[in-house]
Amino acid sequence: MSVRVGVHVSIAGSIDKAVDRAMEKGCDTFQIFSRNPRGWRYKALRDAEVEEFIRKVEHSGISPAVVHMPYLPNLAAPDDEVYKRSIASLIEELRRCSSLHIPYLVTHLGSHRGYGKAKGYRQVVNAINTAFSEVDNEVMLLLENTAGTKNSMGGTFEDIEHIIEGIEQVDRIGICFDTCHAFVAGYELRTEKSLKATIQHFDAVIGLERLKLIHLNDSKGGLNSRLDRHEHIGLGYIGESGFRVILSEEHIRKLPMILETPVDARRGDIENIRVVRALCNK
């Protein structure tokens, strides 16, 4: 079975141009921000660009397209102003995904900023429940596991399941599994035995039926380092042999995989996609 692999692409110029960029890079799937990820303000999507985006995706055969939440929202924020804006952002992104016919919206679970996990859990659960009560559509919200950095939410499978337990419309929740984040948070992925144990643990705690998307990234940090820095596939601490193991795992291999790897003098997106495909065939 061939794998579906792609990258995060820019929407510069017009959102439909993201599809052109994905095709140029040889993507089977792709991820975008639906707007500027570094600001709170955004422009409404124009009907013409929405129609063109949908037309291009259908014509390209690329599936699925995925949206990632912007950088600023923090669903666990203790600060009232940031929290309200974060919920408003989540509501807007759910609506934008629906208008673009995009099935998945990926979100980080945020930081409790030192106020403790208990407060963070309450904030995240309330934010998602509020957004879902405001927006009734088919878009699935994918919770992404984090690198276990200080004050972050979602660094363990148990953390994520604790949040899922509080969600009222739980059928609208899925998981995006980031290999770099999992590895630096302490989940060993590099051998067949350890990966199997990690997958079984995920299934026992969360359930493999919730796993919908893979963020396939190597790591500049070692196992359990809590260093959230992505590296080219095979050039980091997970390494080529580790990715050969990951890419042969049946539950992972059948899912769409998005690379969020660097673009630098060593490699670009096209090269990383090529490496993944080569490792799948070894």
pLDDT per residue as tens digits for the range 60-100: 999 999 999 999 999 999 999 999 999 999 999 999 999 99
Runs of H (alpha helix) within 33-178: 47-60, 80-99, 117-134, 157-164
**Per-residue pLDDT at 189 exceeds 70:** yes
pTM here?
0.97
Q: How far apart are CA 27 and CA 152, in angstroms?
A: 31
List beta partners, residue 231.
Answer: 218
* Cβ atoms within 10 Å, residue 274: 14
Catalytic annotation, pick one of 58, 71, 192, 251: 71
Catalytic annotation, pick one of 16, 92, 228, 231: 228
Query: What whole-number percentage of the chain has pLDDT above 90?
Result: 98
Catalytic annotation, pick one of 21, 96, 230, 232: 230
What's the mean pLDDT when you consider all of the chain? 97
> Residue 1: pLDDT band by 50, 70, 90 thresholds?
low
Q: How far apart are CA 46 and CA 109, in angstroms?
A: 29
Bond from prior residue into 64 cis (ω within 30 degrees of 0): yes
**Per-residue pLDDT at 9 exceeds 70:** yes
Catalytic annotation, pick one of 8, 21, 68, 190: 68
Query: Is 253 known to be catalytic?
Result: no
Query: Is 8 known to be catalytic?
Result: no
Query: Is 113 known to be catalytic?
Result: no
Catalytic annotation, pick one of 172, 190, 215, 232: 215
Q: How far apart are CA 84 and CA 88, in angstroms?
A: 6
Query: Is 144 known to be catalytic?
Result: yes
pLDDT number for residue 281: 82
Q: Break the chain into its structural domains and give their ranges.
A: 5-280
- pLDDT, tens digit (0-9, with 9 covering 90-100), for 114-125: 999 999 999 999
pLDDT number for residue 282: 67
Q: How far apart are CA 9 and CA 157, in angstroms?
A: 28
Query: Is 228 known to be catalytic?
Result: yes
Catalytic annotation, pick one of 8, 35, 96, 108: 108
Q: Does domain 5-280 have CATH number 2.60.40.10?
A: no
What is the Cα Rg of the chain in Å? 18
Catalytic annotation, pick one of 28, 92, 144, 159: 144
Query: Is 59 known to be catalytic?
Result: no
Catalytic annotation, pick one of 16, 28, 159, 178: 178
Query: Is 178 known to be catalytic?
Result: yes
- pLDDT, tens digit (0-9, with 9 covering 90-100), for 166-175: 999 999 999 9
- pLDDT, tens digit (0-9, with 9 covering 90-100), for 220-260: 999 999 999 999 999 999 999 999 999 999 999 999 999 99
Residues 6+ apart with CB under 8 A from 30: 6, 7, 8, 9, 18, 19, 21, 22, 62, 65, 66, 258
> Residue 2: pLDDT band by 50, 70, 90 thresholds?
confident
Query: Is 71 known to be catalytic?
Result: yes
Query: Is 108 known to be catalytic?
Result: yes
Closest CA to 255 of 198, 206, 199, 215: 215
Segment 153-158 mean pLDDT: 96
Q: How far apart are CA 70 and CA 144, in angstroms?
A: 13
Query: Is 251 known to be catalytic?
Result: no
